[in-house]
Amino acid sequence: MGSGHDVNLIDNISMCSHDLLDPEEFRRQGYMMIDFIADYYRDIEKYPVRSQVEPGYLSKRLPESAPYNSEPIETILQDVQNEIIPGLSHWQSPTHFAYFPCTISTAGFLGEMLSTGFNVVGFSWVSSPAATELESIVMNWLGKMLELPKCFLFSSDKNINEGSGGGVLQGTTCEAILCTLTAARDQMLNKIGRENIGKLVVYASDQTHCALQKAAQIAGINPKNIRAITTSKATEFGLSPNSLLLTILADLESGLIPLFLCATVGTTPSTAVDPIGPLCEVAKRYDIWVHVDAAYAGSACICPEFRHFINGVEDADSFSLNAHKWFFTTLDCCCLWVKDPNALVKALSTNPEYLKNKATESKQVIDYKDWQIALSRRFRSMKLWLVLRSYGVANLRNFIRSHVKMAKQFEGLIAKDKRFEIVVPRTFAMVCFRLKLEMIFDQKLHENDGINRIEDQTNELNQILLESINATGQVYMTHAMIGGMYIIRFPVGATLTEERHVHSTWKLVQEHANTILLGALDGNIIDHEMED
C-alpha cells in the first residue's frame, strides 16, 4: 500500500455512523423483513423443496465485488427473492423430509430476534449476567421435563462450584462431544501421563453420527483407535453391550486404554436406540466416560411414553440433545448436561487477566466460556425460554405426538402396499422403508442371480426411486445404508407438516415406484394389486 492512498482517506460519505442503527429506520426495515418472512412461510409450498440449481449458479448472478455505495433494502430483498430463494432447499417446507428436521416456531424465531437484538456476549457471568443465569435456569427446566436425574441439574441451594451438575447450550452435538471428550481425555491423561494419548480408545456403534469421529480426530485421538462397533438387524441396529465388552477386552489385551463411549438414542440412519443402562454397566467397569447423544430423539423424551428410551442415563456422564432438531428452536441450539462440570472447566478454562473480575473470583457464578470451545457465545437460552413459555409443556408434548402420529400414518400406508417394506420398526417419528425387490420379481430371477445380486438391485432401484422423487421438487427425502440395505428415510417433524402432506408424499412415492418398476424392469414385475 503506497502513500498514494492518503489523498482518498475519506471516501465519499452518504451516511453517518448513527444510520447504522437508527431506531425508526430499524423499525421500518424490520417490519418489511417480518412481512417478507411471513409471506415466505405463507407461500413456501410454491417452491421446489430441493433446490434445482446447478453448481456455480449464484456466481453467475451476483457481481464479483462488494458495491462501493449503499443499496436500498428493497433492492436487496428483491435479490433474495430472485437469486437466493431458488438456491435454497427449503427446510421449513412441509414436505421437507430430508436428513432430520430443523424446526422453527414463531417463539423460537422471536427468541432469536431478542438474542440478536441485545447482541450481548455472555462469556463470563459479569459480561451480561442474565445471559448466564437464564441459561442455567432454562437448562434446569428442560432437564426436569426430561426427568433427568438430579445429578445432571444445578442444585438450587448448593454452591455451583461444589459437586453440582448442570447444563450448557452448545452450538451443535459435535461441539458437545468434543468438549466432553476433551474433558474425559484430560482427566485420564492426568492420571496416566500425557505420553499415553496415542493409546486412548473411543467407542461407538457403526450407526453413530460422524460427529464423534470428527470430535475424536480434533481431540488428537489416534484415528486407528476410534471403534465403530458393528450392529445388525438382530439388535435393530442398537449397540450390543456384549460387543462393546468384547471390543474393550481386545483393546486392553493390546495395551490400549478405553476412554470414551458415545451411546446414541435415535441414530441418524434409522433412529436406533443404544441400550444406555446395559452399556453404562459395561463401560463403568473400565472407567469409561459415557456420553449419551440424543440429538434427534431426546426431544421426544419429554413425553412420559418415550422417557424409557433414556433409562439408565443416571449412570452416564453427559447427555445432549439438539433443540434445533425437533424442539422448535432455530439453529443452533444443542443442550448438554454434565454430571461433573469441573471436568469440563479443568479441560477448557482459560483465565486471562483481561477477563478477571470480582464475580468470577467469588466463585458464586458460572463463566460458561469454560464449558465450551469458544470464548464468545450467543444468548441462545432466550429462544429456548420463549419456546418453553410460549407453548408450555403440554403443547410441546402434543406437537411431538402429532409428528409421531403422522409417521404412524405413513407407516400404515406403506404396510398396505406389499411392494414396499418397513426396514426397521419405527420408534419415534421416522419411517425407514424401501421397495422390496423379492416381492416384485418372479422367483426365477431370484434363483438365477442369488441373494447378493438381489440386494444390489434392490439398493439400486431404491436409489433411482429416491432420486426420481426428489427431482420433482415436490418433496425432499434422503437415504441411509443400514446392514447393507439402501433405505429411504421419512422423518416427520417440519413444523408446517400436516397429514395431507404425508398422504401426498406417499402418493408421489407410489407413482414413481409404478413408473420405475414399469420402465426400468421391462415387464419383469409381478402384477401387483395395490390396495390403496
Query: Of 250-269, which residues contact a copy of itself (CB under 8 A)?
Result: 268-269
Interface residue with a copy of itself among 217, 468, 504, 514 (CB under 8 A) is 217
Query: Whole-angstrom Cα distance, residue 334 to residue 316?
Result: 18
Beta bridge partners of 273: 265
Query: Which residue matches cell numbers 433414556?
Result: 310
Interface residue with a copy of itself among 45, 121, 342, 446 (CB under 8 A) is 121
Closest to 280 (Cα-Cα) out of 319, 254, 323, 335: 319
Buried b (16+ CB within 10 A) or exposed e, 491-500: bbbbbebeee
Q: Per CB under 8 A, which region of 23-31, 244-252, 312-320, 443-451 contacts a copy of itself?
A: 23-31
Name the residue nearer to a copy of itself (CB basis): 419 or 489.
489
Interface residue with a copy of itself among 316, 347, 424, 440 (CB under 8 A) is 347
Phi, psi of 479 (to 5 degrees): -115, 175
Name the residue nearer to a copy of itself (CB basis): 457 or 478.
478
Q: Kindly write out the interface string for residues 428-447 of this chain, putting x where it contacts a copy of itself by CB under 8 A and - elsewhere.
A: --------------------
251, three cell numbers: 483393546
Name the residue nearer to a copy of itself (CB basis): 23 or 523.
23
Query: Whole-angstrom Cα distance, residue 310 to residue 147?
Result: 10
Q: Does 114 bind a copy of itself (CB under 8 A)?
A: yes
User: Which element (helix H / strand E) includes 129?
Assistant: helix 129-145
Interface residue with a copy of itself among 46, 82, 117, 287 (CB under 8 A) is 117
Q: Least distance (Å) from a copy of itself to the CB of residue 33?
A: 5
Q: Does 109 bind a copy of itself (CB under 8 A)?
A: yes
Q: Among residue numbers 361 through 380, which ones bind a copy of itself (CB under 8 A)? A: 362, 364-365, 373-378
Name the residue nearer to a copy of itself (CB basis): 40 or 411.
40
Interface residue with a copy of itself among 163, 220, 412, 425 (CB under 8 A) is 220
Q: Per CB under 8 A, which region of 173-181, 231-239, 454-462, 505-513 contacts a copy of itself?
A: 173-181
Alpha-carbon separation of residue 56 from 62, 87, 467 (angstroms): 11, 10, 21
Closest to 327 (Cα-Cα) out of 233, 429, 250: 429
* Chain centroid to CA 250: 32
Q: Among residue numbers 465 through 494, which ones bind a copy of itself (CB under 8 A)? A: 478-481, 489
Q: Kindly write out the interface string for residues 63-102 of this chain, putting x where it contacts a copy of itself by CB under 8 A and - elsewhere.
A: -xxxxxxxx-x--x---x--xxxxxxxxxx-----xx--x
Query: Whole-angstrom Cα distance, residue 477 to residue 522?
Result: 26
Name the residue nearer to a copy of itself (CB basis): 220 or 412.
220
Q: Per CB under 8 A, which region of 240-248, 351-359, 440-448, 513-521 contacts a copy of itself?
A: 351-359
Q: Per CB under 8 A, which region of 217-225, 247-255, 411-419, 443-451 contacts a copy of itself?
A: 217-225
* Chain centroid to CA 77: 29
Closest to 156 (Cα-Cα) out of 169, 146, 174, 143: 143
Q: Least distance (Å) from a copy of itself to the CB of residue 446?
A: 26
Q: Per CB under 8 A, which region of 245-253, 279-287, 342-350, 419-427 contacts a copy of itself?
A: 342-350
Q: Least distance (Å) from a copy of itself to the CB of residue 270?
A: 10
Q: Least distance (Å) from a copy of itself to the CB of residue 530?
A: 29
Interface residue with a copy of itself among 162, 253, 255, 354 (CB under 8 A) is 354
User: Which element (helix H / strand E) includes 226?
Assistant: strand 226-229
Can you give 145-181 as a three-state secondary structure string? HCCCCHHHCCCCCCCCCCCCCEEEEECCHHHHHHHHH
Q: Among residue numbers 262 through 301, which ones bind a copy of itself (CB under 8 A)? A: 268-269
Q: Least distance (Å) from a copy of itself to the CB of residue 345?
A: 12
Name the residue nearer to a copy of itself (CB basis): 253 or 353.
353
Closest to 270 (Cα-Cα) out of 509, 489, 502: 489
- Interface with a copy of itself (CB under 8 A), residue total 183
Query: Whole-angstrom Cα distance, residue 55 to residue 62?
Result: 14
Beta bridge partners of 263: 292
Q: Kindly write out the interface string for residues 377-396 of this chain, putting x where it contacts a copy of itself by CB under 8 A and - elsewhere.
A: xx---x---x-xxxxxxxx-
Interface residue with a copy of itself among 139, 148, 178, 283 (CB under 8 A) is 178
Q: Least distance (Å) from a copy of itself to the CB of residue 527?
A: 33
Buried b (16+ CB within 10 A) or exposed e, 130-167: ebbebbbebbbbbbebbebbebbbbeeeeebeeebbbb
Torsion from C-alpha of 2, 3, 6, 12, nearest 10 degrees: -20
Q: Does 234 bind a copy of itself (CB under 8 A)?
A: no
Q: Per CB under 8 A, which region of 115-123, 284-292, 418-426, 508-516 contacts a copy of itself?
A: 115-123
Do 333 and 324 form a contact (C-beta atoms < 8 A)? yes
Q: Kindly write out the interface string for residues 24-53 of this chain, putting x where it contacts a copy of itself by CB under 8 A and - elsewhere.
A: xxxx-xxx-xxxxxxxxxx-------xx-x
Alpha-carbon separation of residue 294 from 242, 276, 313, 404 (angstroms): 22, 11, 11, 17
> What letter represents residue 324's amino acid?
H
Q: Among residue numbers 130 through 169, which ones bind a copy of itself (CB under 8 A)? A: 130-131, 133-134, 136-137, 140-142, 144-145, 147, 156
